[in-house]
Structures are given as structure tokens and as C-alpha cells.
């Protein structure tokens, strides 16, 4: 089976669980602002169901979320296709964009990254 078919099969299976067993929170302005006010580390993942890079990022994020140092990380998923207004608000130009925040301050971003060490480094900027 090709990598593309495997990824399509994973996407068809539905949303992936993060390492703690919790799904990423669907983005709402109120939920995001609440997380910012509490000073939580935040990851915004701009994703699309058809995006193979996004699908490759999810198991990496799941594994990283299992690390106790990321236990407080609040993850928000934003659908690239249906939430264009929010995608624009975050200044993202493509799916597979990862943006980290520490409270209200943006601490880093990347697009199209699938290297586990690079993604871990990005998440470390939020804690």
C-alpha cells in the first residue's frame, strides 16, 4: 500500500486522538481567548482533511502530546477550507500551518513541517 493510500485511509477513519486521549479543540474565538487569558501554551493547527502533510503531522503531534512537558498544551484545529476568515485572521496562507502561542503572544510558526524534531522545537517555544 502506498503512503498516499495509507494517509487517505487514516483520514477516512475520522479525527485522530492526541496522546492524552483528548481531541483537539475546535476553534472558537471565545475558547481561544480564554486559553490566552489563562496563559496556557497554545498550538493552532491549520489543517484540511485532504492534506497529506496535515495527516503526517497529526501522529507526530499525538506523540509529542504524550510527553508530560506538553500536558497543558491547548490545541485548536482550524479547517483551511471552511474557516477562511479565521485562517486569514491568523495570517496563514496554506494548510499544514502550525502556530504556537504562550498566552496572547505568538511564539513561532511553521508551514508544511513534518520533521518531529522541528515540530517539537516549535512546541517548546510555547511552554
Q: Which residues pair with 71 in a beta bridge?
A: none
CATH code, domain carrying 33: 3.40.30.10
Condensed to tens digits (0 to 9), the pLDDT of residues 73-88 reads 999 999 999 999 999 9
Total domains present in the chain? 1
Length of the chain: 127
Q: Is the pTM of this model over 0.85?
A: no
Domain that holds residue 43: 3-124
pLDDT digits (tens, 9 = 90+) for 39-74: 889 999 999 999 999 999 999 999 998 999 998 999
CB half-sphere exposure, 64, CA atoms < 13 A? 23
- CA dist 63 and 2 (Å) reads 23
Amino acid at each position: 500500500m502506498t503512503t498516499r493510500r495509507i494517509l487517505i485511509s487514516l483520514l477516512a477513519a475520522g479525527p485522530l486522538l492526541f496522546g492524552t486521549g483528548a481531541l483537539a479543540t475546535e476553534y472558537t474565538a471565545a475558547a481561544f481567548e480564554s486559553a490566552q487569558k489563562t496563559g496556557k501554551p497554545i498550538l493552532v493547527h491549520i489543517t484540511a482533511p485532504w492534506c497529506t502533510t496535515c495527516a503526517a503531522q497529526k501522529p507526530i503531534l499525538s506523540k509529542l502530546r504524550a510527553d508530560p512537558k506538553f500536558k497543558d498544551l491547548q490545541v485548536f484545529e482550524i479547517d483551511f477550507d471552511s474557516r477562511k476568515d479565521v485562517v486569514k485572521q491568523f495570517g496563514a496562507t496554506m494548510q499544514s500551518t502550525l502556530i504556537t502561542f504562550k498566552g496572547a503572544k505568538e511564539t513561532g510558526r511553521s508551514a508544511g513541517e513534518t520533521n518531529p524534531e522541528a515540530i517539537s522545537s516549535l512546541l517548546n517555544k510555547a511552554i
